[in-house]
Structure 1
Amino acid sequence: MAYIEIFCLMFIVAYIFHLIKRPRIGLNEPPLVPYRYPIIGHTYSVIYDSENFLKECKEKYGEPFSLYVFGSVRTYAGIDSIPEVLKHSDVFSFNEGANKIIPVAEIFEQFIENYSPSDISRVIHDQISGKLNIYTSRMQRELLYGIENLIGDCKEPNVIRDIRKMSSRIIAKPVANILLGEESAQFDDIVDSFTTVESQLLKMRFASIFLSFIHVKLSNFFATLPLKFGLNPITQHRDLFVKRCKPVIEERIHQRKELGEKYIQKEDLLDFYLNKSKADVVDNKLLNHLFGTLYTLVFTSIATTTRALSFALFDYAGRPELWNELYEEQLKIHNESNGCLSIEDVNKMVKLDCFLKESLRYTTDIASVPHTVIGDSYTFSNGITVPKGRDVYLYMRDTSFSNKFYGETSHDFQPKRHITSYHNGKIVHSPAHKVDGSFVVFGGGKHACPGRLFAVNEVKMCLHKLILKYNFRTENSKIVPPIILFSVCFPPKSGLVFENRN
């Protein structure tokens, strides 16, 4: 009975707030789509039927348009408006918008004195994506270790139910190697730690999201409330980091003192940040800074790469018409490289790259990646103005499934659409990591994902090894659609059947 009373009280409070702060749209603002129920607004439609609902809204009201979702007005930018949002990063803040979904800044500022997303992006671009030729051999070694331990020999068919969890574990080990070094990546509990950080941070957001019905800031307040009392969900990961990595850090600092200029810096981000800090004492301040900085990278890298690999596995498993062609390319490259891939070998995987790009396009979120207007306002080229503080969501499916870019077959899964063949025999393909107006999976402009080249190459190497080692299919031998919730696409929950190819 108490739960019913609490619910009724919350509903009454939400209704009062709705009456007091009924959404009002100014002149020249994006049209607010009419809604039937106060408080609820368009929330139900966005949660459970976003694909059809957003399409209908754009057809009727044009773009950009606005919806009343979770107690606030959101504006949705479609195919014509998205390029303007991505181009004007001085007006549309990705970091501020993303922080409203998961309060990364508040979570990590306890450990990092001056949290700067732009600095982190620069490090990812220079020290990870820029050094793929150095990391490739280590990545494939760690990928093979994960594949052998998590999938196994499969002489008898092996059904794996939780593909996302498996993918996360496989992806996490190479990431641990590159971030923390080969010494620390050997510990299974560190790899486990990498895979659980994202899920713990997501729980902070979804546990209180429905409080947005009362006031938009209330959800974020309760999501971050534990932090104010020292109850940070990633503190346990900090303790594990200290346990496993402190001896490594102490030894590296000792070697620096001993060898001086003769010290050869290790190729991992732990040593990069140690060198940058110039620290000669291992204290809590240094350990907190290293942990906060490196685990921010864990959060940004594991989730998106795991998602891409999970969807690619389902897209491959459900489409047997692609198996022979992709296998032949991987076998040819495997034989040429004697099973030891270089970055040049990965670049030769044209058909696999096009398959992955089509998988990324085909499983694009309906609408996500909010950008908050931090300027006084912004007027789009069509004359529509969005005010300061407005969250502008990218209606990404409007671009990814556009006939303008992909023709009448935009709703079909066709990897070859990314390859252009010329009469002289020359073949050119559009790489999966390339961002342009027709492919916004990785964002665009200054804030395009800095780690996309690393992510694409890691997924390609993993798929290369899996395709060579196994035949794998969906349990019912049919295509399994993604789960769509909150206008976001999640990998299917069903399993895949793996069997040794030999």
Structure 2
Amino acid sequence: MTPKHFSKNYGELFSLYIFGGVVTFAGADSIPEVLNNTTAFSFGRGVNKQTTPIDDIVIPFFRNNKPPRINQLAREMSSKANSNNVSKIQKELLFIIENFFGNCEEPKVFSNIHDTIVQIMAKLTINLALGQECAQFEDLVSIFAELATITLRMKFVPPILSFIHPSVHKYFVSLPLKNAIDRHKNIFIQRCKPIVEERILQRKKLGEKYIRKDDIFDYFINELQLDFVDDKFMDYFYVHVYLLIYASNNTTTKFFASTFYDYCGRPELWKELYEEQLKIHNESNGNLGIDDVDKMVKLDCFVKESFRHSADIASLPHIVNADSYTFSNGATIPKDRDVFLYMQDINFNNKFYGETSDDFQPKRGKHACPGRVYAVNVIKILLHEAILKYKIRTESGKIELPKIISCFSTSSESSLIFENRN
């Protein structure tokens, strides 16, 4: 039986006994209450317990007692996809597309496109966050691609060991990351410490004439007013970049892979989407700006609809922080109760999408404020360039739907065929 069965029979807020514990699923009417009550519900605790238990692994790296700056860095990254950085993103993606897919004069078959997209997103994010200099280090790109793969696999491990105790499951699923994180740190410090030292030296030498670069190196140097680099700072710096790339890449990679498969399996959309991209390409002379990205209305609607169909059944786990919480419908749940947001109750709700809510219809409406969303803009730019350069289709000739494991979804692993358009 699916969550849809339970919501239909027991209401939009219901609880299930799963792997030794009670989990409450919040439906469309209750989700806003969970998201808006950040005091009563903790998303951080929920993620650390239910999907990617990384807190205990990364906390030791904050040993210099300076407060974390993850939220500030996330805002910095988000701003990079809606300003002058669009041309930089486009240039990097064109290089990446050529590097990974190349000349497909004869049709080429690419298997498990998800792994390729993990590499693409790792390289792009390093370029935006740390600069072109770091993106050239293949070992640096590899550790962040490996991070994305490890953390993605974490949430697909069924918590069978939670029958013994939740901590046993947590220990088991976090082992691959524990085994990798120090090796990753050594590579990161080897590549990045000389850059930090050189930046500090240049700031001292040039004084007010120093031109600050738009990357995380200078962000930290400026915010912390660094005069020297020690091991404590490098640990602090490393864990911020680690968490930033983890947060930036996991969702973006998943949704981009699913969007790619949706496009490749729906030939009825190819002509319309291609014509829009060609028109924008010609009007911009091939040099995109943020206004050009906003003009990709049909592509934006397609991406939005793909997101809806590839979303998890339930996700964004929270834990009740308060002694208890009573919802507006009168239901009360106790302290420390696990709460999942039942996303399908929103994504396939007839109240929001009409009687055709189960159908894939890209023309449902324009995505709200696409220019503010890093993931959406990056995916649109990459799809824009790929559609212009290649004819892409699924090897099977069919729509390859996302795979569902537990209540989470992941993209298909089927092969795609690339062929030069011209």
User: How high is the TM-score relative to the length of structure 2?
Assistant: 0.94
Closer, same or farther in 2 for the Cα pair 1:164/1:61, shift >3 Å? same
Partner of 1:360: 307
**Does residue 421 of structure 2 align to residue 501 of structure 1?**
yes
Of 396, 405, 415, the match for 1:485: 405
**Does residue 19 of structure 2 align to residue 70 of structure 1?**
yes
Deviations for 1:61-85, whole angstroms, at most 9, x for unmatched residues? 1131111111110001111111111
**Does residue 200 of structure 2 align to residue 253 of structure 1?**
yes
Tell me, which stretches of 5 or more residues in structure 2 are unaligned? none
Q: Compute the displacement of 1:198 (Å).
A: 2.2
Of 282, 304, 309, the match for 1:335: 282
Contact 1:208–1:223 (8 Å) recurs in 2: no
Per mean C-alpha deviation after superposition, the further-off stretch among 354-363 and 129-138 is 129-138
SS in 1 for 2:256: helix
Of 199, 223, 227, the match for 1:276: 223
For the pair shown, which has the larger CA radius of gyration, 1 or 2? Answer: 1
Closer, same or farther in 2 for the Cα pair 1:491/1:326, shift >3 Å? same
Partner of 1:85: 34
SS in 1 for 2:84: helix
Q: How does 1:9-408 map to 2 (within 5 A)?
A: 52-100=1-49, 101-113=51-63, 119-125=69-75, 127-131=76-80, 132-202=82-152, 209-223=159-173, 231-408=178-355
Partner of 1:439: none
SS in 1 for 2:400: coil
Closer, same or farther in 2 for the Cα pair 1:356/1:332, shift >3 Å? same
Closer, same or farther in 2 for the Cα pair 1:485/1:203, shift >3 Å? closer
SS in 2 for 1:386: strand
Contact 1:319–1:479 (8 Å) recurs in 2: yes
Supply the AA of the counterpart residue of 2:376: V
Q: Compute the displacement of 1:356 (Å).
A: 0.3
Deviations for 1:103-143, whole angstroms, at most 9, x for unmatched residues? 222221122235867x4123312x12224313212211111
Of 449, 460, 471, the match for 2:391: 471
Deviations for 1:221-275, whole angstroms, at most 9, x for unmatched residues? 4555799xxx552111111111111221111111011011221110012211121
Supply the AA of the counterpart residue of 2:392: F
Q: Compute the displacement of 1:203 (Å).
A: 5.3
Q: Compute the displacement of 1:215 (Å).
A: 2.2
**Does residue 367 of structure 2 align to residue 430 of structure 1?**
yes
Identity, in percent, stands at 51
Contact 2:47–2:318 (8 Å) recurs in 1: yes
Contact 2:14–2:24 (8 Å) recurs in 1: yes
Supply the AA of the counterpart residue of 2:276: E
Closer, same or farther in 2 for the Cα pair 1:454/1:247, shift >3 Å? same
User: How high is the TM-score relative to the length of structure 1?
Assistant: 0.80
Q: Compute the displacement of 1:329 (Å).
A: 0.7
CA separation in 1, counterparts of 2:293 and 2:266? Answer: 23
Q: Compute the displacement of 1:498 (Å).
A: 0.6
CA separation in 1, counterparts of 2:46 and 2:54? Answer: 11
Closer, same or farther in 2 for the Cα pair 1:167/1:383, shift >3 Å? same
CA separation in 1, counterparts of 2:105 and 2:155? Answer: 42
**Does residue 364 of structure 2 align to residue 413 of structure 1?**
no
Supply the AA of the counterpart residue of 1:152: G
CA separation in 1, counterparts of 2:358 and 2:157? Answer: 35
Contact 2:156–2:406 (8 Å) recurs in 1: no
CA separation in 2, counterparts of 1:249 and 1:66? Answer: 50
Supply the AA of the counterpart residue of 1:468: L
Aligned pair count? 419
Q: Compute the displacement of 1:431 (Å).
A: 2.8
CA separation in 2, counterparts of 1:204 and 1:235? Answer: 18
Closer, same or farther in 2 for the Cα pair 1:300/1:96, shift >3 Å? same
Contact 2:118–2:148 (8 Å) recurs in 1: no
Contact 1:201–1:233 (8 Å) recurs in 2: no
How big is the alpha-carbon RMSD for the aligned residues of Structure 1 and Structure 2?
2.0
Tell me, which stretches of 5 or more residues in structure 1 are unaligned? 1-51, 419-428, 435-451
Q: Compute the displacement of 1:327 (Å).
A: 0.6
Supply the AA of the counterpart residue of 1:273: F
Closer, same or farther in 2 for the Cα pair 1:346/1:203, shift >3 Å? closer
Partner of 1:462: 382
SS in 2 for 1:345: helix
Supply the AA of the counterpart residue of 1:460: K
Supply the AA of the counterpart residue of 2:367: S
Contact 1:200–1:233 (8 Å) recurs in 2: no
SS in 2 for 1:366: coil
Bigger relative CO (Cα 8 Å, ≥ 6 apart): 2
Supply the AA of the counterpart residue of 2:162: S
Closer, same or farther in 2 for the Cα pair 1:215/1:388, shift >3 Å? same
Supply the AA of the counterpart residue of 1:488: F
CA separation in 2, counterparts of 1:282 and 1:366? Answer: 45
Contact 1:72–1:216 (8 Å) recurs in 2: no
SS in 2 for 1:110: helix
SS in 2 for 1:481: coil
